[in-house]
């Protein structure tokens, strides 16, 4: 009797096949429930980390503005003449060499005074000449990665010189290719001080004085060019970026900086080219074909159908350096900094006209012939 009981106990040791399959099924169900929650938590953590970074950059831009008497934001990019390796000024073209962008200007405000002091302001942003500091501009960018410039959800952010954050350069007529090879709208829009192809007041004449005034009211930060050796090359453009006092629509209602995961992943973060360091709102350049007049063209700001993907998160899979529009690796929207320094998550479902008004710092200001944009409420976004 004892032997039979022992044999029975030995035969029942371990799981049967059915029991094992049931256990595996239960574990699979639990994992299917837990893994999405873990992924969502990680995604939320990356979004919060990104929000903190854009907030710090926004504070850096504000700190830069506070240092000058006009409380003016830096230019998004600076062009000019350069030194050769012996310190002699080189003759340059009418548009100038690409010196630096806004990131370089606020390095000190981002707690990287060590990099700022070693930057060679008399040479191109991608210069490989090592001056007295022992570092070239290209070397500073490639060897010293700045995590604050890269969103944790930017899949291309591990490359040297990556940049995930771009500043508001207003409305644009993208009348040329956006490819990195051919540039954007040629040299005429290199500095984006005006747009010679837009007739914003719909009077039949492009780029007249009122068009220039309205264009300047469409964005926050603008390019500039400096002629330092006095030979009129390049043609000088002043910094016309907005000041804290010139943002008529309210600093809390105007975007200063946004994410763009299609910005400069394999390019230098010091490059002043607009397609690498800014975002724009591409305006339909043919108001008369839409039946629009001066009273409603600037007010309604119709999106260019050739670039319908310029909506928030509309070109997430776009090629690097060819989509200067707000994009992120976050589901549902992008992190932005407003001109008052506040950081928020802007939904990609925001109404297009509301978004276009968030871009313009002075779109609600009365104009001689054109109707201003509607006043924004904080409930609109």
Joined tokens for residue 173? 């007529």
Joined tokens for residue 251? 């600093």
- Residue of 220, 214, 216, 196 lying closest to 206 (CA atoms): 196
- pLDDT the model gives residue 190: 54
For 146-156, b where at least 16 C-beta lie within 10 A, e where not — what string?
A: bebbbbbbbeb
Cis omega before residue 141 (within 30°)? no
- pLDDT the model gives residue 331: 92
Q: Report DSSP state, residue 134.
A: S
Joined tokens for residue 247? 């943002």
- pLDDT the model gives residue 5: 53
Q: Is 277 left (phi over 0), alpha (psi -120 to 50) or beta?
A: alpha
Q: Locate tokens 């771009």: which residue?
A: 166
pLDDT tens for the chain, 381 residues long, are 555 555 555 555 666 888 788 888 888 888 777 777 666 667 888 999 999 999 999 999 999 999 988 999 999 999 999 988 888 888 788 888 999 999 999 999 999 999 999 999 999 999 999 988 899 999 999 988 899 999 999 988 888 888 999 999 999 988 766 765 555 654 444 556 677 888 999 999 998 999 999 999 999 999 999 998 888 888 888 999 999 999 999 999 999 999 999 886 555 799 998 888 999 999 999 998 999 988 889 999 999 998 899 999 998 777 888 889 999 999 999 999 999 999 999 999 999 999 999 999 999 988 777 788 999 987 888
Domain locations in the chain? 71-380
Handedness of CA 119, 168, 327, 341 (dihedral sign): positive
Work out the burial of residue 232: count CB atoms within 10 Å of its CB; fewer than 13 is exposed, 13-18 middle, 19 or more buried: exposed
**Rounded CA separation 224/237 (Å):** 5
pTM above 0.95, yes or no: no
């Amino acid at each position: 009797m004892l032997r039979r009981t022992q044999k029975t106990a030995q035969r029942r040791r371990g799981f049967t096949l059915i029991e094992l399959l049931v256990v595996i099924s239960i574990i699979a169900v639990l994992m299917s429930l837990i893994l999405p929650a873990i992924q969502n938590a990680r995604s939320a953590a990356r979004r919060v980390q990104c929000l903190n970074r854009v907030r710090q950059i926004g504070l850096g831009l504000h700190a830069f503005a506070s240092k000058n008497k006009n409380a003016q934001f830096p230019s998004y990019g600076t062009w000019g003449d350069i030194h050769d390796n012996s310190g002699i000024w080189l003759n340059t073209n009418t548009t100038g060499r690409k010196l630096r962008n806004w990131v370089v200007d606020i390095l000190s405000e981002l707690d990287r005074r060590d990099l700022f002091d070693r930057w060679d302001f008399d040479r191109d942003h991608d210069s490989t000449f090592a001056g007295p500091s022992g570092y070239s501009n290209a070397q500073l960018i490639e060897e010293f990665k700045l995590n604050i410039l890269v969103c944790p959800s930017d899949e291309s952010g591990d490359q040297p010189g990556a940049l995930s954050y771009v500043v508001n350069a207003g409305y644009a007529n993208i009348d040329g290719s956006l490819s990195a090879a051919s540039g954007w709208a040629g040299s005429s829009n290199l500095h984006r001080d005006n747009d010679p192809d837009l007739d914003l007041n719909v009077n039949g004449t492009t780029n007249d004085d009122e068009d220039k005034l309205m264009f300047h009211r469409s964005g926050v930060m603008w390019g500039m060019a400096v002629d330092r050796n006095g030979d009129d090359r390049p043609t000088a453009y002043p910094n016309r970026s907005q000041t804290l006092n010139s943002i008529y629509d309210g600093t809390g209602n105007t975007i200063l900086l946004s994410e763009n995961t299609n910005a400069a992943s394999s390019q230098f973060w010091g490059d002043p080219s607009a397609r690498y360091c800014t975002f724009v709102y591409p305006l339909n350049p043919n108001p008369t074909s839409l039946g629009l007049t001066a009273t409603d063209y600037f007010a309604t700001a119709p999106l260019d159908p050739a670039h319908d993907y310029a909506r928030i998160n509309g070109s997430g899979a776009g090629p690097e350096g060819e989509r200067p529009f707000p994009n992120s690796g976050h589901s549902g929207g992008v992190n932005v900094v407003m001109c008052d320094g506040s950081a928020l998550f802007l939904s990609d479902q925001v109404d297009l006209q509301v978004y276009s008004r968030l871009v313009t710092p002075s779109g609600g200001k009365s104009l001689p012939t054109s109707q201003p944009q509607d006043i924004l409420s904080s409930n609109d976004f």
